[in-house]
Structure 1
């Protein structure tokens, strides 16, 4: 009973020593010295100018929406084809 507990503690201890990727190297230069953004009330944010989508962004979103609609239509189709459904309805004939 003591061996599994010791093994679990050992695994947890060793996994705590893993190396994490260097995240500081991925930061854009100047981010560390940049000031924190101002906190604004939600009303001020909602009154701001609405976001504008570029034609490329609209085309991408429209294409994705069309693909999702097509996928949803395929998911509405029957899972079991009519031939298999008829065979299943007949069942197994007793001997």
Structure 2
């Protein structure tokens, strides 16, 4: 009798709707060749990537934007006027 709940669970899982994966494919992908496999040693032995001045300027701009956003998030979530009103509570109608 222990098998009955397991079969019920398995039957429910079998009724699951799966998304249409074929519709999400890029057109023409089935005719494309498989990508070439490369040895890992050759990929690791290459020159180390270096940041260019253009990349540095872009990153510094993003850092400044993120720091400004973080500074705006440091303030109180509820303004002081609303906090004082909430501290007064509500009057019961009874």
TM-score, length of structure 2 as denominator length: 0.56
Over 3 Å counting, the alpha-carbon distance change for 1:35 and 1:92 in structure 2 is closer
| Per-residue deviation, residues 5-57 of structure 1 (Å, max 9, x unmatched) | 7xx47x55x946x44323549x7xxxx5986433218xx94x86432111111
Change (3 A) 1:80 1:34: closer
- Indicate the RMSD between aligned Cα atoms, in angstroms: 3.7
Classify 1:23/1:62 alpha carbon distance in 2 versus 1 (closer, same or farther; 3 Å): farther
Q: Tell me the matched-pair count.
A: 78
Look up the match of 2:8.
none
**Where do 5+ consecutive residues of structure 2 fail to align?**
1-11
The answer as to 2:49 corresponding to 1:51 is: yes
5+ unaligned residues in a row in structure 1: which ranges? none
